[in-house]
Structure 1
Amino acid sequence: MKERSATISGYKNLKIPYVIQTKTDQPKGLAIMLPGIGYTVKSPLFHFSSGAFLNKGYDVLHVNYPYYSSDYEGYSFEEITSALINDVSTVLNQVIDHSIYKSFYVLGKSFGTMAMPTALDRLPTQNTKAIWLTPRLSSLPVYQTLRTCKQDSLCVIGDKDPFYDEEKINQIIDNSSIACMIHPTANHALEVDGDILSSIDMIKSVIKRIDDFISMKSGVLES
């Protein structure tokens, strides 16, 4: 596997690093990874999802925004969110405008899902798919995008997640473009409180569902 690291000048000129991983000279497309604030690309869901995309011939883009660092002390949550949307857009402009990628996946976790509406608007609808891991359903743009988006999508959340909302999930399920995977007893990390082995099994089931989703083409598993 090869890696290429770079940075962009982001919100208020603060540096935002990103990494592009590749295993092939002719990638099928690009998988864009948008982690949470504390749930980084080194965490299990991102580590194994990245591997799944790489194994299927996609390049992987990790956007490593450092919003936990001292540079962002004193920022309100609203300003951090503005920084996220600005920085993800800037990274995408930098990467996509200088590439030949035609097919895209966007995978976001929690805080990272708040940049997905803007990212999906930036990418070609017919050639883009989305994976929403524990989306912040309290965010109106996230909720509205999940309800109305045309991109084939997978939404994964647990019913013990503080952002889980049964009424909103039922409305999201009505969107024929989205498949929902709802894990009973799963918390915001998609783990089971106090049960390590069940947590491992749950992560495994999520990664298996993501791997299957990558293999889907027009609703049919590719051979």
Structure 2
Amino acid sequence: MKQSLAVLFPGTGYTCGEPLMQKIARQFLEAGYQVVQLDFSAVPFHELAGLEEAAERVKPLVLEQLKGIEPAACGDIVFVSKSLGTVCAGWLEKEWGVPARQLYLTPLPQTLDCIRETSRVAGMVIGTQDRFMTAEALQAFCTGRGIPCLVAAGTGHNLKYADPAAAEELERKILALCSVPPGAGSRE
């Protein structure tokens, strides 16, 4: 039986320890997936010149933390990524040569360049106050490609609400986007 894999990619200030990422990890663990939560804490992001340098520093970490995993031996592969992690998730899909199901949380403009016709994007999520891309621009991109786009009104790049009810509703919608197909945890 092939083990299915879910990889969680953090952002520069949004770790896999955030409650949303932990709920996503738990959802996949309960479905029988091997879950890898990447850690970028060794990278001094505040000292780097920009996104390109940050991505180049993170890529070797991604490969190191996934060492020993053979993507061709996996069943369903899912990448859930946040901000800088979205660029890395798009890069890793190309690097591995295996189309993963992608859920992009607050993708950066550079992330859109990673998406090809063969990409399997489960959805993209953005706040109306995102500082890197407008919700309208992302919606237009997604509409043209048939990609589900979830817009979180009144929140920024961190996708956080002060109101617990609004936060819970957003989490519910995001968890639905990365739902696990029946029997996907392990496949023969």
TM-score by length of 2: 0.81
For the residue of structure 1 that corresponds to 2:125, the secondary structure is strand
Instruction: Choose which of 174, 177, 201 in structure 1 pairs with 2:144.
Output: 174
Q: Given that residues 2 and 75 in structure 2 are in contact (C-alpha distance below 8 angstroms), is that contact kept between their aligned partners in structure 1?
A: no
**Equivalent residue for 2:181?**
215
2:17 is aligned with 1:31: no
* Equivalent pair of 1:33/1:61 in contact (CA under 8 Å): yes
1: CA distance, partners of 2:53 / 2:124: 26
| 8 Å CA contact 1:29, 1:102 repeated in 2 | yes
For the aligned residues, what is the CA RMSD? Answer: 2.7
Quote the residue 2:105 is aligned against.
133
- Runs (4+) of structure 1 exceeding 6 A deviation are none
The one-letter code of the counterpart of 2:166 is S
Whole-Å Cα distance in 2 between the matches of residues 197 and 49 of structure 1?
18
Deviation at 1:119, TM superposition (A): 1.0
Partner of residue 86, structure 1: 60
Contact 1:45 1:203 in 2 (8 A): yes
Any idea what the Cα deviations from partners look like across 1:7-33, whole Å, max 9, x if unmatched? Answer: xxxxxxxxxxxxxxxxxxx66411011
Q: Trace 1:176-191 onto structure 2 (pairs within 5 A).
A: 176=146, 178-191=147-160
Cα drift, residue 59 of structure 1: 0.7
Q: TM-score, normalised by structure 1?
A: 0.69
Any gaps of 5 or more consecutive residues in structure 2?
184-188
Aligned pair 1:111/2:84, yes or no?
Answer: yes
Larger radius of gyration: 1
Query: Does the 8 A contact of 1:130 with 1:154 survive in 2?
Result: yes
Structure 2 CA distance for partners of 1:68 and 1:82, relative to 1, 3 Å: closer
* Distance of aligned partners of 1:175 and 1:196 in 2 relative to their CA distance in 1, 3 Å threshold: same
Tell me if the contact between 2:142 and 2:148 (Cα under 8 Å) persists in the aligned partners: no
Aligned residues: 180
Whether the aligned pair in 2 keeps the contact of 1:38 and 1:68 (CA below 8 Å) is no
Q: What does residue range 184-199 of structure 1 map to in structure 2 within 5 Å?
A: 184-192=153-161, 194-199=162-167
1:142-173 C-alpha deviation (Å, 9 max, x unpaired): 11224645224211112222223223430232
Any conservation in 2 of the 1:35–1:64 contact (CA below 8 Å)? yes
| 1:153 and 2:127 are equivalent in the alignment | no
Letter in 2 for 1:85: K
Question: 1:120 and 2:55 equivalent?
Answer: no
Partner of 1:36, secondary structure, is: coil
SS state of the match for residue 11, structure 2?
coil
Q: Which amino acid aligns with 1:64?
A: D
**Alpha-carbon distance, 1:98 to partner:** 8.9
Compute the displacement of 1:95 (Å).
Answer: 2.8
Match of 2:68 among 72, 76, 95: 95
CA distance 1:153–1:216, shift in 2 (3 Å): farther
Which structure's relative contact order is higher, taking Cα pairs within 8 Å and 6+ residues apart? 2
